[in-house]
Amino acid sequence: MSPEPNPARHDRDSVARSALALLDEVGLADLSMRRIAAGLDVQPSALYWHFASKQELLAELADRITASIPRGSADVLATARGIRDALFAYRDGAELVLSTYALQLGSSQAQSALTEALRAQGATAPEDRGAAILHFVLGHATLVQQRMHADSYGALPDAGEVDVTAGLDRVFDLGITALAGELSAPVTPPHARA
């Protein structure tokens, strides 16, 4: 029957989940430790019981975003789209993962998924291709996501284009198929038929 003076005790998981939801609401630039704390009805200093620094919290968020990447596909294009869509699932997801990626070369979920698909497809140099595709996806998704956000606030000069993101899907598909190398379809040169 206690009036619950402060029953709001949290753990690492609840802090991360609240921060991830806030990221999606306000974006990376406005995701401050003080805002996260306010969302949890807690003082900012309380967060430092669960995470050593903001950097560590952001790395955890990046891990959660990349954790939802579907694995096991033998199709490189489908795998790459899965990575892109996981980045798109949260506001500024691509930028967050990109800026966090270099620090944690351990948990590169995405890269191994790509390398596996490339190997299943019989591509040459699957490791290098996997790295190249990941760099492309991160750069592409970051730019697209920025642009989406920018022209949703009318910050972009209206160049008379109907849709600013038109053609970006085409660029993505072209990039992935080019980087994946020869297609998996059986190469049957014309002179070998008949």
Partner DNA sequence: ACCTGAACACCGTTCAAGT
Residues in touch with DNA (CB under 7 A) = 6, 8-11, 30-35, 41-46, 48-50, 52-55
Q: Which is nearer to a copy of itself, 52 or 105 (CB)?
A: 105
Q: Which is nearer to a copy of itself, 46 or 88 (CB)?
A: 88
Helices and strands counted in the chain (H then E)? 9, 0
Length of the chain: 194
Question: Of 12, 78, 139, 183, which one interacts with a copy of itself (CB under 8 A)?
Answer: 139
Q: Which is nearer to DNA, 83 or 96 (CB)?
A: 96
Question: How near is the Cβ of 41 to DNA at its closest, in Å?
Answer: 7
Instruction: Compute the distance between CA of residue 158 and CA of residue 160 in angstroms, rounded to an integer.
Output: 5
Residues numbered 97 to 126 that lie near a copy of itself (CB under 8 A) are: 98-99, 101-103, 105-106, 125
Question: How near is the Cβ of 78 to a copy of itself at its closest, in Å?
Answer: 18
Q: Which residue shows structure tokens 């948990």?
A: 107
Residue 119's binding partner out of a copy of itself, DNA, none, with CB under 5 to 8 Å set by partner kind: none
Instruction: Compute the distance between CA of residue 61 and CA of residue 189 in angstroms, rounded to an integer.
Output: 48
Tokens representing 105 are 């070369």
- Is 129 an interacting residue with respect to a copy of itself (CB under 8 A)? yes
Mind giving me the DSSP string for 44-61? GGGHHHH-SSHHHHHHHH
Alpha-carbon radius of gyration of the chain? 21
Residue 67's binding partner out of DNA, a copy of itself, none, with CB under 5 to 8 Å set by partner kind: none
How many residues form the binding site for a copy of itself (CB under 8 A)?
A: 40
Cβ-count burial 72-86 (b if 16+ within 10 Å, e if not): ebeebbebbbbbbeb
Among candidates 136, 123, 124, 146, which has minimal Cα distance to 171?
136
Residues numbered 78 to 97 that lie near a copy of itself (CB under 8 A) are: 95
Question: How near is the Cβ of 46 to a copy of itself at its closest, in Å?
Answer: 25
For the chain, the maximum distance between any two Cα atoms, rounded to a whole number of angstroms, is 87
Q: What does the binding site for a copy of itself look like in residue numbers (CB under 8 A)?
A: 95, 98-99, 101-103, 105-106, 125, 128-129, 131-132, 135-140, 142-143, 146-147, 150, 155-157, 159, 167-168, 170-172, 174-175, 178-179, 181, 189, 191
